[in-house]
Structure 1
Amino acid sequence: MEDILEALPEAIYLTDGDGRITYYNEAAAELWGVRPVLGHSEFCGSWKLYWPDGTPLPHADCPMAMALKERRPIRGVEAIAERPDGTRIPFLACATPLFDAGGALTGAVNMLVDLSERAVADETAERLAAIVESSDDAILAKDLSGTIVTWNKGAERLFGYAPEEAIGQPVTILIPLDRQDEEPRILDRIKKGERTEHFETIRRRKDGSLVEISLSVSPIRSRDGRIIGASKIARDITERRLVERQQRLLLREMNHRVKNLFTLASSVVTLSARSAGTPAELATAVSSRLAALARAHALTIPSIPEATGVAEQSTTLHTLIRTIVAPFDRDELSRARIEGADVAVSGNAATSLSLLLHEFATNAAKYGALSVQEGSIDIMCEEAGERLVLTWTERGGPAIRSEPTVEGFGTLLSKATARGHLGGDIQREWRPEGLFLKLEVTRGRLSEA
């Protein structure tokens, strides 16, 4: 019998009816970290005992002692044994009293199951659960039928459903109708043990709004290796996508502006050559006009003082217009006649208006009145209640035969600037004698920082 007990991996020991230890196997000695004296040590061979909460557990109250005292099995009780070196081992006790043929108590046998690995696993699981719960990303788990079984706070923030609203529901409540085919494909991959990483898609919140996410899906396996579900991590990429769109817009604007600069430089040279009598006169005229063009371009860039970091830019509408069209003047005579209200313009409005007027002048230099020496522009500024109305009328340029069929990037940029930054709109009329533009803006926006 002792050979059999020695071969068992679990700690086993015996006591007599008074609780004195009469036998223990090597597994018990290893768990206790000490070899108790047979016939002397009572109830348990460990150096010290504690309850799971760390409260000291007297040997006289341990499961083995209770089994002997109450003459009944005490099984499934957890406790902690402390070795002489201070190491603590959590264990599960299964104490059983032994009786002779006449029913007299002769002793007891106890089996101690080492719970160290389970404790480590439990601690790891608790740590993982804390990480999942505190994550900014939405993390959820579903079974193989697609039913949500766990739901963290990140998922609640992203999708709007409380845990009690989401758990038990099909994960398809998050999927827009036009993307319902994605879930069967994801489940098929999971059942094959395959991961889905950084899948960019769109999901639906509780309020019906849509959100762009990056989705990673991994299979969940049971202890025996069977796939029993999937974990999903969803990250909101709305801000990233917005930044990407802004970057693309900036690159398009940069490309557009560079092309315009080359075109403007060519126009300046062409216009200057028509009135210059000598190379020196041509160089002086080109240099002067390019300098004026640089001053106009500077108006599209807000100045930011190092001390405050706040954009500061203030001027008047007439000054703004004159600076923009100055590079195209002929023999120091302005080719633009400006009339009407001269209102103050500051802050971001100065930048936005500069962009619009620069776009108008650039197009006029490429295709309209400023592309020929005889062309001119009439600009009228009028206040109409809460609105400022600016009309731009080109005369003397190439005849317009038809309205363009496609809107260029510059036109789209102008509309976006007028509506988004200035609370206004732009109207264009492609008259045979020249382009007519009507820009309406909200007066209150002209002085906003």
Structure 2
Amino acid sequence: MLSKTELSPESLSHVIEQSIDCVKLVDPQGNLLWMNPNGLCAMEIDDFSHMTGREWASLWPEDAQQMIRNALIEASQGSARFEAFCPTAKGAPRWWEVSISPVRSRDGSNAGYISVSRDVSQLHADREAQKVLLAEMRHRLKNSFAMVCAMLRTVARGDAANTAFATEMVGRISALATAQTLFDGDSEVTDLCALLATLVSPFRDSSGPVVEVDCEGVHIVERREADVISLVVGELTVNSTKHGAIGNGGRIALSARFEDANDSNPASHVISWQEISNAKVVATSRSGGQGLSLIERICNARGGRFAIDWQDHGLVATLSLPASAPANT
């Protein structure tokens, strides 16, 4: 049984040796000094004497070597973390999550580095499988959009009133399909302004309300952020179609800005929907309505905030969502 009195330098070294992760000591020049037994096993290294003294970066694939050298430079100022591919000594494919921390001498100078590598090959494979599944779902969703549009056109053929309705609905469904294409391929980010413009494009015509989109600078959002934003704008659009400016005439101002982090809040994307309808607001909640409650739950799950300020002829809705990527101005 471990006790505080037994935590000597020798006992701590035994703890490191028994770590299930691959633990390495690297000198200030980036050369490999030591690796724990489980690390040798994970890397399938039979004889460490062939590795000691070699540059650690040189043991990685060529396209990752400069990243390793840069990580050591970064770690000398504090710490570094990355994920990369590196096969074992016997060629087995592996993905590693690596953290690097500096080792300081008594006078505070850099004595080298300790690196801990964890085999995340299965996690990486699961993520890749998920990407393939999501890509297939997006493909099927776009096919479904196309099929619905074709059905609408077929049903409306020969009927002027139905044709007008079908044309309007096809435009809105096409906007949803276009929003999906913003993430085609391997891209996990998109431009927020382009996303907002796409989501409201079916309603920006001469016969409908005036819809203005205004963005300050360039906003890059990740897919998970875009999903929340799309949900919020989509729900506000549905409500406006039923009860507000889109259904009754008026004006909508949709804007986005980036707010830097401060002592109480992280850096955030702030989306504002300001709506003035020709019809007076008669109710701010409706029996059976679940859309706004769902929005609040999803925003809370993402660390965001959603608020509505109801007014006599409309509303001001504000979404504040923590930003994963900084804005480019």
TM-score, structure 2 normalization:
0.43
Relative contact order: is structure 1 or structure 2 higher (C-alpha 8 Å, sep ≥ 6)?
Answer: 2
Report the TM-score when normalising by structure 1: 0.32
Structure with larger Rg: 1
